[in-house]
A = this chain, B = another copy of it.
């Protein structure tokens, strides 16, 4: 499946879930309109899941949700850890979208002894020293880094050493990981800079 398609499946899923239940089916054009993409893109993307649409009618919403879920691996349980209990870590721990999606925060960690023990959305902040043991115990596959930049690389090292295979990094620094570990990098400054580039262009 093309990377670009994988990156859009979550979008389709989100749109499908937010759609009013007036109809049990949805056409590529309708989904495209909500997702703000083209209908040809929707059809191509969904065709990678197999031919489940009905000509003249569209796709069955529930079936489509299920197919996307299965493809994205959301039918299984994904225990995650959040390292860094600042505002961002707290925001993510509180994030609602987890419930239905198989993600489960099994631990929130901080290096600051002052923060250890604080409650964050039902999670008691734990000392980073507990990280490795918890990762192994819960079989954590995804780690989220919300530490300051200065601690991001060390955190990534510890996560990968403990067996985490995927990292979502919110610290504004590029982390190095072994070749078999996947990293996605989300950075506010980057997003703003991209926006300001296009803002200047359109002036």
List residues of A (46-80) whose CB comes within 8 Å of B's CBs. 71-74, 76, 78, 80
Q: Which residues of B contact A190 (CB under 8 A)?
A: 7, 10-11, 14
- Asked whether any CB of chain B lies closer than 8 Å to the CB of A114, the reply is no
CB of A187, distance to nearest CB on chain B (Å): 7
- Asked whether any CB of chain B lies closer than 8 Å to the CB of A194, the reply is yes
Number of copies: 2
Q: Is the CB of B173 within 8 A of A195?
A: no
Give the distance in Å from the alpha carbon of A168 to the alpha carbon of B73 in the complex: 28
Give the distance in Å from the alpha carbon of A184 to the alpha carbon of B180 in the complex: 29
Q: Which residues of B contact A94 (CB under 8 A)?
A: 86-87
List residues of A (1-60) whose CB comes within 8 Å of B's CBs. 6-7, 9-11, 13-15, 18, 34-36
Decide: A15 near B87, CB < 8 A? Known: A168-B195, A184-B195: no
Decide: A182 near B168, CB < 8 A? Known: A18-B173, A87-B91: no
| Contact of A196 (CB < 8 Å), options: B98, B142, B202 | B142
CB of A106, distance to nearest CB on chain B (Å): 14
Q: Is the CB of B165 within 8 A of A199?
A: yes
Q: Which residues of B contact A80 (CB under 8 A)?
A: 192
Decide: A176 near B36, CB < 8 A? Known: A103-B192, A189-B97, A197-B9: yes
Q: Is the CB of A78 within 8 A of B174?
A: no
- Asked whether any CB of chain B lies closer than 8 Å to the CB of A186, the reply is yes
Give the distance in Å from the alpha carbon of A182 to the alpha carbon of B165 in the complex: 34
Decide: A9 near B78, CB < 8 A? Known: A14-B172, A87-B90, A91-B87: no
CB of A57, distance to nearest CB on chain B (Å): 24
Give the distance in Å from the alpha carbon of A88 to the alpha carbon of B91 in the complex: 5
Q: Which residues of B contact A182 (CB under 8 A)?
A: 195, 198-199, 202
List residues of A (71-129) whose CB comes within 8 Å of B's CBs. 71-74, 76, 78, 80, 86-88, 90-92, 94-95, 97-98, 101-103
Name 8 A/B residue pairs within 8 A (Cβ), A-sorted. Answer: A14-B189, A86-B94, A90-B91, A95-B188, A142-B199, A165-B199, A166-B195, A184-B195
